[in-house]
Structure 1
Amino acid sequence: MLCFWGAQVREGFELVKPDQVKHGKCGLRSLCPRTAVQDMSAGRSFAGFIQDGKVSVLRLRSEDYDHDGKLKQLQLKNKIRLIVCGGDGAVLLANGGKVLIMDKSTVCKPLKGLENRQVIQIACGDHHSVALTNDGQVFVWGENSHGQLGSRKDHPGSPSAQHVQSLSGVPLAQISAGGDHSFVLSLSGVVFGWGKNSAGQLGLGDTTDRHVPTVVNSLNQKKTVSISCGGEHTATLSKGGTVFTFGSGGCGQLGHKSFRDEHHPRVVAELWGSEVSQVTCGRHHTLVSVTSSKLIYSFGCGMQGQLGNGEMIKQSVPFPVDLPTECNHDYTIEKIIAGENHSFALFFKELESKGISNPSRGVLTLNDRMIDRWLSGTDPWATIKQEINTVFSSAASLNGSFLKTSCDDHYQTSEDHCCLDFDLVKSSFAKLSGNKSLISEVVKVVQQTLLPSLNPNPVGVESLRVYLLLPELIIRLKKQKTELTEALASKILQLDPDSHKVLEKYWSKLPDDWLNSLVELFHNASAELIEQISCDEMDCDLTRRLKKFLKILQMIYQVCCSANRDIPNRDFIIHEIGDLLDTLQATLEKLFWPVLGFPVSDDWEDMVKLKDYCFETINILVKFPFVADTVSKKKMFCYLQVLFQSLPDPHRIILNGNVLHINRESVLTDTLKYLRQKTHAFRYPLQVTFIGENGVDMRGLSAEFFFLLSQSLVKWEKKVLEIHESSLVWFNPDGMQANRDFYYLGVICGMALYNHHYINIDFPLALFKKLLQQSPTLNDLEELSPVEARTLKSLLEEDEDEVVDMFGFDFTVKGEKLIPNGDQIRVTKANRQKYVDLYVDFVFNKSVKKQFEHFSRGFFKGCPLDAWSMFHPEELQELLHGSPKYEWKELQQCASYEKCSASDELIKNFWTVFFELSEENKKKFLIFLYGTDRVPVGGFSKRSLKILLLECPDADDRLPEAQTCFGRLILPKYSDTNTLRDKLIHVINFCKVFGRA
């Protein structure tokens, strides 16, 4: 049954004879054609009806025509399932998904631009139209006077369908078109609008037209299920029946008890609790229906009777339409239609199947049931391939797949929630990857169509779900994994900054197994390429691809760090880097053969290329320090030094051969005097000679030099450094008069690092964070000043306001104001975090700003190779201080022997005596043997120890000797253990001159 009310039309629309039209109250009429009306639409110029797939149209009264025309059946080859009338014509949708355009003379033509597309929804405005395809793509055509086509501002309009590319990744549920504006609705209830906005009909809070789809943020998470556009107003319906309206209200069409325009969506309060099931907007009026109570409400312009209340008025509040009594008993409301001056309601008997009148179909999405159907083999392979192509070629289809619909969770989609059902995705992809034919077809479509189509500037967060789904699919592949991973990495890196931030936030909230899989995917791809490079596969494309993988891995690593995810750092370490360094070492050795007198190798040129290629790779890896362990990074630093020192240096002036001549008694004074001469070439290794002593510096002398220099620097305590309660040292805040000293302290520390030696000054970790441009925290203050930090932590942990007040703090530290008038601002529970943050900042930054600036400037001078920045703060601290772990057993295990063996009695006695020594004496032994008591990064195994047995007749009269540069201990063959013990203790405590003890 069809009910209608409003302006006069040809009686019964010629769908029935005039005497078969029933007249009800308030101008309502109803009719029941012999052939049921499956769908209908009414616009400004036409009303159209579909009966048994055939279309009939009737011209309505308008300014151009004084009388309505006769009902005319369109002669079409295709069966039509949907008609939408607009301003001057109509759009028809055939059963096969083809679109036809009817102009004002009722001539129908196929729409160009949608060939090979299956359209599932259509919408019409006054001068433009919109179509939605089964793979979720939006197409528009017509005029673009106000940006209603969603294209660029200067787009002139188009008679053929144009793709709205910015929406290509959004999984859509519905489209709608009004006078000169357009809307779409996503499966998660996100609303996008564009076009004319003169009355605020886009709901964006202003009256500025939009030329591209824009999210209506105020409707986010309102569970919107449908949208309808009027002439210059819009209505949305939320799950549960809440209606929002916005835009032009001059005729009362917003239902807000006023005739004002609304620029933001506003609830129609009069309908609150009515559980509205449908809403539709006409040009100046609005209809809503409540299926459960079989009521239709109307509001807005009723000057032609289109409100169905028997009055020719403008009504600003919803009022029920007086429907025929049979509507309340035998029929249910299936569809309501609001035109310009007309209103319609299509009723079906309750026993008839629903949905015939509203044949809109949803976008095709992937789900577990579909995969099961593919696996069952009941459908022809051609049908399965077509479905695979539709789903996996469309980001919109994939983004609308596997949504977490339980408890309406998918309506919570935001920057914090992607709303995917991860368990369902995992199980479904596992099934899919288990079938070779299916997964092969999927891979082909993803590689050839989906990945190339991804938009680098997606609209809406829903477009980013595909970047979560694809890694889970790719990691299950056996073939083409690296190729697809690279293509995915390229697309992620092309995303705009805002999309990057959202994707990273999604990553931060992934389940543990998903996040682990993501790390594994890009880690393995990186490792594979590094392994290929290590195996002499010289291809510049490998390094280009490697950069992509490492950049993605870096993004994930930073996400894990900032979100405190429990992914250990070792999961990011690429052990194949060790193979690369071994390849470089072997290559450098071969290239060095001619220097040793060996003939030039036949593959010399290839060796040079491989060397350069390895260095190129290392230069890449330096920028991604989290993928290498400390030992590998130290090796890379050494190799880059070799390269750095081999480069041409036009400023190289070494007047004294970079040799520092120094007295043991005046090591600090001599060092400063040497540095102030500005003759040292920091790029090249430092050589040290102790005045009055024999010996060539082969690292032993310079190691001892830095050890002695560290002891001398203690004299700078009061002027430059101050010792805290933790025994750690920090810059003296009152040491501003010692600017040059801070600078030279930095130079000395930088030189030690660059020359691979240790400085025995106990700086806190905060210093190394600052050098790496990281911010120290309260935990760093706890390391430096435990008492201060514990007080601040107690302040933060206190629950009672009164107790916080009892601390009696204001915004000062040691008399210094942390903020303007800080001495007059008390620390309260509300501002205590700010106080603590400022306190930590004051200690580590503000109070020593100039001191640190001078120190860091000197550090950069002393260590001119900036590759040191690849180290983590803890690693940099260890490189400068040495390892804090003294694994003495490891020292014994790494020892080698000359003219003796580990089983000799003397050697057994030596180790017995050694392990009996106090911790202090063990460290003194290290100083005697190596010139420093620091443990190298990686432990004692990274340092050579060779014990040479010396057989001589006067062995008991001799002392042990140390060849410091080579880590060699010359041990006389003592007659007994006591003699060995006495001689060893004596030599480590009293022999401080380089050479023979």
Structure 2
Amino acid sequence: MDTDVVGQLGIYTWGANSYGQLGHGHVEDLSLPRLADDGVRQTRQTRAVRLLSGGGGHSTVVSEIETHQTRQHSSSLQLSNFEEGELLVCGQNHKGQLGLGHSSEVRTFKICPLIGHRVAQVSCGWDFTLILTGHGQILTCGSNAYGQLGTSEPVSHSVQPRPVQALGEPVVGVAAGLRHSLAVTGTGQVYQWGFGLSGQARRALSPQPVPEHFTSKTPRLVPGLGHVMSHWVAAGSAHCACLTVTGDVFLWGSNKHGQLTRTETFLPAPVRLDRSALDGERVTNIHSGWTHLVAQTEKRRVFTWGRANYGQLGRTEPTSQCSGGASPGATTQWTRVPSEVKVLCGATQIACGSEHNLAIVGGRLLSWGWNEHGMCGDGSENDVSQPQPVADLRPILIGCGAGHSMALCAVNGSDGEQRASVDVEMRRSALT
């Protein structure tokens, strides 16, 4: 891919925007996708965006920036003449979750100056951010009210990204829950920290003590996974998930909405998801909203389970289960057991917000679930119970915040109203 093609791509954002997290320079919600504002271009170095993610009120973009060295990359989104891993941020920043060294709100994308660090992955919690570097180190910033930054120091928050020191080996994946954190290392070990789940754990497990991985401010090895090798982690508002190299999913934490597929209200240690619920197939990807999960299998099928009150499972409840007097979306056998969403078969990407989702299927962008702020992108604020196409976007990459959506798309040159001049050349003036 050459820079002419790169110039035809842009980041569309829509949904909740109370803190400027959409990057348009204002705080009005948008129920239709719109190209993000790149501000005044003081320099024009082309970027190749390769990761989009968001938190409660902030957004992050990981990009590659043009250099003068030529390298060969295998991915279509990894271009020659690009240096990997620059981080751009915008939105809510009252706890320093943007890592900019201050706590002022930012309404257009700014560069987070991580000198000497190449960013490999970012995961956003409600008001904090986990940054994984290319060397396997975790940097954290934002709120530490629940110990979610992984530091033993008595700090309430951090406006500067700070390293998590307690891990003795390189990390390959991170996941931020609402107020807790997960990491998986190169040797397949899973660590957890932050006590955002401790209250639920205490109530559910009393009089038994709460395990240390639910109460620690620094990373603690999650028990019960020593016999498997994990390579990916996902987090909900109060639950945790990991995916092993053999395609098994392990779940633990809150089961209030049936998201752990069990009947217990809380699981203190990981329990393997029975593959029979997925027709015996291996899982290749696991994604998590606040109270629901989405799994992709080896045959490219997509299964969902957990809370369903906003349509976030993307499937219609059977009539036989609706007639028993249960309120819509209540936890039933139908929501607790993984079930396939056939229209999503073959999805190349899936992203979960708090209670809404995006997917790329057959080159089309689909959305479903909670839509109070227009995050499903259909021009309304009505919840969407089944996956529906989003406008005429040609998606390349997708990501979600709690209540907003992001997509890197091919830009229609005639799209003047949506600022078609914006492409992946995002401003470098943001260092000031």
Q: Which structure features the higher share of helix residues? A: 1
CA 298–154 in structure 1, closer or farther in 2 if over 3 Å, else same: same
Q: Is the 8 A contact 2:193 2:214 kept in 1?
A: no
What is the Cα-based RMSD across aligned positions, in Å? 3.1
Match of 1:32 in 2: none
2: CA distance between counterparts of 1:140 and 1:180?
13
**Considering only CA atoms, is the larger Rg found in Structure 1 or Structure 2?**
1
1: CA distance between counterparts of 2:86 and 2:311?
36
Match of 2:11 in 1: 55
CA 223–126 in structure 1, closer or farther in 2 if over 3 Å, else same: same
Instruction: Tell me if 1:322 matches 2:322.
Output: no
Match of 1:279 in 2: 286
2: CA distance between counterparts of 1:297 and 1:264?
23
SS in 1 for 2:224: helix
Match of 1:175 in 2: 174
CA 135–206 in structure 1, closer or farther in 2 if over 3 Å, else same: closer
Q: Is the 8 A contact 2:56 2:127 kept in 1?
A: yes
Instruction: Tell me if 1:265 matches 2:270.
Output: yes
Instruction: Tell me if 1:255 matches 2:239.
Output: no
Instruction: Tell me if 1:223 matches 2:229.
Output: yes
2: CA distance between counterparts of 1:52 and 1:261?
48
SS in 2 for 1:101: strand
Instruction: Tell me if 1:299 matches 2:305.
Output: yes
2: CA distance between counterparts of 1:214 and 1:207?
5
How far residue 152 of structure 1 moved from its aligned partner, in angstroms, is 1.6
Instruction: Tell me if 1:90 matches 2:59.
Output: yes
How far residue 299 of structure 1 moved from its aligned partner, in angstroms, is 1.1
2: CA distance between counterparts of 1:134 and 1:67?
34
Q: Which structure features the higher share of strand residues? A: 2
Match of 1:236 in 2: 242
Q: How does 1:178-193 map to 2 (within 5 A)?
A: 178-193=177-192
How far residue 128 of structure 1 moved from its aligned partner, in angstroms, is 0.6
Match of 2:350 in 1: 336
Q: Is the 8 A contact 2:119 2:131 kept in 1?
A: yes
Match of 1:212 in 2: 218
Q: Is the 8 A contact 1:190 1:215 kept in 2?
A: yes
Give the TM-score of the pair, scaled to structure 2. 0.61
How far residue 200 of structure 1 moved from its aligned partner, in angstroms, is 4.7
How far residue 61 of structure 1 moved from its aligned partner, in angstroms, is 8.9
How far residue 67 of structure 1 moved from its aligned partner, in angstroms, is 6.2
How far residue 54 of structure 1 moved from its aligned partner, in angstroms, is 2.6
How far residue 301 of structure 1 moved from its aligned partner, in angstroms, is 0.9
Question: Deviations 1:550-574 (Å, cap 9, x if unpaired)?
Answer: xxxxxxxxxxxxxxxxxxxxxxxxx
1: CA distance between counterparts of 2:350 and 2:7?
17
CA 197–157 in structure 1, closer or farther in 2 if over 3 Å, else same: same
Q: Is the 8 A contact 1:151 1:211 kept in 2?
A: yes
Q: Is the 8 A contact 1:280 1:337 kept in 2?
A: yes
CA 245–66 in structure 1, closer or farther in 2 if over 3 Å, else same: farther
Identity of aligned residues (%): 24
Match of 1:957 in 2: none
How far residue 217 of structure 1 moved from its aligned partner, in angstroms, is 2.8
CA 272–174 in structure 1, closer or farther in 2 if over 3 Å, else same: farther
Bigger relative contact order, structure 1 or 2 (CA pairs below 8 A, ≥6 apart): 2
Instruction: Tell me if 1:101 matches 2:95.
Output: no
Q: What is the one-letter code of the residue matched to 1:129?
A: T
Q: What is the one-letter code of the residue matched to 1:73?
A: L
Question: Deviations 1:917-976 (Å, cap 9, x if unpaired)?
Answer: xxxxxxxxxxxxxxxxxxxxxxxxxxxxxxxxxxxxxxxxxxxxxxxxxxxxxxxxxxxx
Match of 1:71 in 2: 33
Q: Is the 8 A contact 1:297 1:318 kept in 2?
A: no
How far residue 291 of structure 1 moved from its aligned partner, in angstroms, is 3.4
Q: Is the 8 A contact 1:125 1:178 kept in 2?
A: yes
How far residue 207 of structure 1 moved from its aligned partner, in angstroms, is 7.7
Match of 1:709 in 2: none
2: CA distance between counterparts of 1:333 and 1:341?
19
Give the TM-score of the pair, scaled to structure 1. 0.28
How far residue 174 of structure 1 moved from its aligned partner, in angstroms, is 0.9
Q: How does 1:447-846 map to 2 (within 5 A)?
A: none
Q: Is the 8 A contact 2:192 2:214 kept in 1?
A: no
Question: Deviations 1:859-906 (Å, cap 9, x if unpaired)?
Answer: xxxxxxxxxxxxxxxxxxxxxxxxxxxxxxxxxxxxxxxxxxxxxxxx
2: CA distance between counterparts of 1:231 and 1:340?
8
CA 282–210 in structure 1, closer or farther in 2 if over 3 Å, else same: same
Q: What is the one-letter code of the residue matched to 1:72?
A: R
CA 51–160 in structure 1, closer or farther in 2 if over 3 Å, else same: farther
1: CA distance between counterparts of 2:237 and 2:115?
30
Q: Is the 8 A contact 2:49 2:63 kept in 1?
A: yes
How far residue 140 of structure 1 moved from its aligned partner, in angstroms, is 0.5
How far residue 206 of structure 1 moved from its aligned partner, in angstroms, is 5.7
2: CA distance between counterparts of 1:120 and 1:298?
28
2: CA distance between counterparts of 1:358 and 1:186?
25
Match of 1:607 in 2: none
2: CA distance between counterparts of 1:301 and 1:227?
20
Q: What is the one-letter code of the residue matched to 1:249?
A: N
2: CA distance between counterparts of 1:101 and 1:248?
30
Q: What is the one-letter code of the residue matched to 2:117?
A: R
Question: Deviations 1:668-724 (Å, cap 9, x if unpaired)?
Answer: xxxxxxxxxxxxxxxxxxxxxxxxxxxxxxxxxxxxxxxxxxxxxxxxxxxxxxxxx
Q: Is the 8 A contact 2:90 2:109 kept in 1?
A: yes
CA 261–271 in structure 1, closer or farther in 2 if over 3 Å, else same: farther
SS in 2 for 1:217: coil
